[in-house]
Amino acid sequence: MSAAQNRLTQVSGHLAGSKSTLAPTEGDTSSGRSKLLQKHADDIVVTACLRTPFTKGGKGGFKDTQAADLLIGAFKALLERSRIDPALVEDIAVGSVLPPGGGATEFRAAALAAGFPVSAAVRSLNRQCSSGLQACVDVANQIKAGMIEVGIGAGVESMSLQYGPGAVTEFSELLESHPESANCKVPMGVLSEKMAKDRNIPRDVQDAFAANSYQKALQAQEAGLFDEEIAPLRVQWEDPKTSETKEITVSKDDGVRPGITKESLGKIKPAFAKDGSIHAGNASQISDGAAAVLLMKRSTAERLGQTIIGKYVAASVAGVAPLLMGIGPWAAIPKVFEQVGISKDDVDIFEINEAFASQCVWCANELGIDQNKINPKGGAIAFGHPLGCTGARQVSTLLYELRRRGERVGVTSMCVGTGMGMAAVWVAE
Amino acid sequence: MEYRTTGFNGYAVQYSPFVNSSIAVGAAANFGLVGNGRLYFFDLTAQGIVAQKWYNTQDAIYDIAYSEQNANQLIAGCGDGTVKLFDTKVPDYPIMEWKEHNREVYAVAWNLVSKDTFVSSSWDGTIKLYSPERPQALLTLPTHSCTYSTHFSPHSPSIISSVTSDSHLRVFDLRTPASASNHLVHLIPIHGHAPQQGPSYNPLRPRHPPSEALTHDWNKYRDTTVATAGVDTIIRTFDIRHHKHGATAHLEGHKYAVRRIAWSPHAPDMLLSASYDMTCRVWSDRMATPNITPGSHAPSQGAELGRMDVHTEFVTGVDWCLFGGQGWCASTAWDERLLVWDARSVMNQR
């Protein structure tokens, strides 16, 4: 750049930083957002991301499919799409909440069955509903730290086969006698009901938000907006009527339903308390699914000729009271903003997991986030929340939507059982 | 009163510390992007503002500072990285020139106490200390960040401060021994310290992302009070003894970046600002003192006392007159105008 251009850039930076209507451009280096948009060789980038469809727990297309098999499907599709040499993948992290033993054994086996050589390491991890995001963040951090060069962050959950009381062991005397610690095992529905009352989130607000999620998801599905992120999967499925097992191809989220309005949701009986406000229609669906994200440094991606879809910028985790676990995003999102030096206005899309309409709408309102920026293709209320998978799923949902709209900056976030929140900033390219 | 600096867009204005009717303006052609600079010396007369003299320079002039030693001398910081010393007794050319900076010099300031040194700061990330008697700079203080503004404390001959594009206020004390810290004694994040984790952590506390700081000034009466301002439009005051809790007061109202601020030489709470929003505003910080009650560190809000919106382009320079009626000030802007006005008149309108 010439000296004059440099000076002009400097001055326009002064203007662009001051919340002016002048959009910050890539050239000026002052605003947090424009810093975010700059490309550097050591950025951690996403070169492929996808998910299986999500299907309804107990009755959907994946009701008879093991979590590990869903994972194989996601891995195979990821290898096919990215055309990366599987031998280059050094580590795979899989977030999953329900499997006994964390799924460590099955997931390693799944990676081998999907075509990874024995040299690709695998681990499972569990940070409840943020496991999938934690997996991506862990792999990104491993790459940042130089431990590995190429890795995969993934998430999987078969709630059909593994959801149930067995997921938590009996609490010891010591745990039971500590008040906050005993709260950690209060069931989600009960504590969300409590939070809705506590934070005064009326039922009609929840129902309106939930109906909106359904409508957005339906529109997106009809317009084919999920097609890019979804990798169809062929599985065995037992017809409950005939008990006949047949092979089917699942290519769509089956939780998305037409004709759902605020009024139709208003007729459903509350599930957790007679005078409650939470019911099946304004809480996330129980689902099965898997998702995977391929991560590496920008320099590596360029060397390997990988297509860069977006980049991972930063993530935060925050603890909140176990009984108020729903407020997790409220604690985590500002924290990640602070790290990155941006504000809510710099973000184009927020993917905030809809564990319950109540908590999602509360967090959004409290943070002052524009409703139009939240979950533009619907969320877990409409197409499901396979616990450990969701965090990895949001990456594909977010990046493809940002790219489609020509927008850049996105945030994924979710509340986490036992009282936590996670949030991450991503940039589409 | 008004004077048109035709062809040159104003960047800085200062009253002479010796003569109550003298004003100097540093200006640049083509909005300071490319082309010459010009230094004007004006006289305020009954007939209006009269240009006494001017000097052309090769590159833009971004800031000026009158000598505190010699009523005829003034330094100017230029776009080509030079600092020039002019003497009104010598026509056409500067009497000294220091070529020390690698990039645009955006601020110069004279030592107000010992009066024998001056400083300059530049986009090259350094502050340099000079003596008019020496051909080379005496000392270089690194900031590692584009340094838009530097000043001496008006209360000490050895304290130098700066604000930079990395959103920090730095205070250097030359009395400290030379060491790896380069005399840096305070590094104050203008946007606020990182949050304290723990039970009192409130994710919703008002927070501000870091943003470029463009200007700052030392209060002339309260020797630990410094005001800063810049791209995020908020003018903040800090007590450098208690900066851990963030700013003492916020003065909010400008619509665009604040380009220059100046504390009044007459009133301990009064401050004048010039902004890209084309206004100059007069503020009071209400003599705010740091709020050090644990758990509540919200800065107090200052008051806007008045605004002058005659300029039709970015206002880049303001200064108070040190003499006479206690409200006269001058401003210069990209609209090629020097305006001399009375802050008391805009305050009365409100």
Instruction: Note the pLDDT tens digit of each residue in A108-120.
Output: 999 999 999 999 9
Q: Which residues of B, range 17-56, sit inside 8 Å of A by Cβ? A: 31-34
Please name every residue paired with A294 in a beta bridge, in sequence order, or none if there are none: A48, A152
Quick check: B193 contacting A, CB < 8 Å?
A: no
State which amino acid sits at residue B221: Y
Active site residue A136: no
Nearest chain B residue (CA) to A363? B204
Please tell me the predicted confidence (pLDDT) of residue A24: 38
ipTM of the complex: 0.80
What is the value of pTM for the model shown? 0.68
Residues in chain A: 429
For A2-48, write each residue's pLDDT tens digit: 778 888 888 887 887 644 433 333 334 456 788 889 899 999 999 99
Quick check: B325 contacting A, CB < 8 Å?
A: no
Nearest chain A residue (CA) to B62? A7
Quick check: B207 contacting A, CB < 8 Å?
A: yes
Please tell me the predicted confidence (pLDDT) of residue B195: 64
- Which residues does chain B have within 8 Å of residue A318's beta carbon, measured at their own beta carbons? 203
Mutation target vs A (from B33, B124, B193; most A CBs, 10 A cutoff): B33
For A417-427, write each residue's pLDDT tens digit: 999 999 999 99
Strands B270-275 and B258-263 turn out to be: antiparallel
Quick check: A59 contacting B, CB < 8 Å?
A: no
- Backbone dihedral region for residue B35 (phi beyond 0: left; psi -120 to 50: alpha; all else: beta): left
Instruction: Please state the rounded mean pLDDT for residues A366-393.
Output: 95
Active site residue A360: no
Tokens 């939470």 found at:
A278
* Cβ contact, residue pair B33, A7, below 8 Å: yes
Q: How far is residue B44's CA from residue B175's CA, in Å, rounded to a whole number?
A: 40
Q: How far is residue B152's CA from residue A73's CA, in Å, rounded to a whole number?
A: 67
Question: Order of strands, edge to edge, in the sheet holding B139-142?
Answer: B105-110, B118-122, B126-130, B139-142
* H helices present in B130-215, as ranges: none
Out of A337-341, A400-404, B132-136, which region has the weakest mean confidence (pLDDT)?
A: A337-341
Secondary-structure percent of chain B, ordered helix, strand, coil, rounded to 5: 5, 45, 50
For A213-261, write each residue's pLDDT tens digit: 999 999 999 999 999 999 999 999 999 999 999 999 999 999 999 999 9
Residues 6+ apart with CB under 8 A from B147: B106, B107, B121, B122, B123, B125, B126, B127, B162, B163, B164, B165
Tens-level pLDDT at each residue, chain B (350 residues): 888 888 999 999 999 999 989 999 999 999 999 999 999 999 999 888 999 999 999 999 999 999 999 999 999 999 999 999 999 999 899 999 999 999 999 999 999 999 999 999 999 999 999 999 999 999 999 998 899 999 999 999 999 999 999 889 999 999 998 888 899 999 999 988 766 665 555 655 666 778 899 999 999 999 999 999 999 899 999 999 988 878 889 999 999 999 999 999 999 999 999 999 999 999 998 887 776 665 556 788 888 999 999 999 999 999 999 987 788 999 999 999 999 999 998 886 65
Please tell me the predicted confidence (pLDDT) of residue A33: 83
Q: Helix (H, G, I), strand (E, B), or coil: what is residue A117?
A: coil
Instruction: Please state the rounded mean pLDDT for residues A385-407.
Output: 96
Please tell me the predicted confidence (pLDDT) of residue B202: 62
State which amino acid sits at residue A224: G
Quick check: B104 contacting A, CB < 8 Å?
A: yes
* Cβ contact, residue pair B207, A334, below 8 Å: yes
Q: How far is residue B61's CA from residue B120's CA, in Å, rounded to a whole number?
A: 13
Please tell me the predicted confidence (pLDDT) of residue A19: 47
CB B137 within 8 A of CB B130: yes
Q: Distance, in angstroms, between B42 CA and closest chain A CA?
A: 28
Q: Which residues of A, range 307-326, sit inside 8 Å of B by Cβ? A: 318
Tokens of A370: 């524009």
Secondary structure element (H or E) that encloses residue A286, with its range = none
Q: Distance, in angstroms, between B199 CA and closest chain A CA?
A: 10
Q: At residue A287, does pLDDT exceed 60?
A: yes
State which amino acid sits at residue A15: L
Quick check: A234 contacting B, CB < 8 Å?
A: no
* Cβ contact, residue pair A14, B212, below 8 Å: yes
Catalytic residue among A49, A129, A360, A389: A129
Catalytic residue among A49, A279, A363, A385: A385
* Cβ contact, residue pair A18, B231, below 8 Å: yes
Quick check: A341 contacting B, CB < 8 Å?
A: yes
Q: At residue A274, does pLDDT exceed 90?
A: no
What dihedral do alpha carbons B240, B246, B251, B253 form, nearest 10°? 140
Q: How far is residue B328's CA from residue B22's CA, in Å, rounded to a whole number?
A: 13
Quick check: B82 contacting A, CB < 8 Å?
A: no
CB B338 within 8 A of CB B303: no
For A124-174, write each residue's pLDDT tens digit: 999 999 999 999 999 999 999 999 999 999 999 999 999 877 677 889 999
Residues 6+ apart with CB under 8 A from B7: B29, B336
Please tell me the predicted confidence (pLDDT) of residue B171: 95
Domains and CATH numbers, chain B: 2-194+208-348 (2.130.10.10)
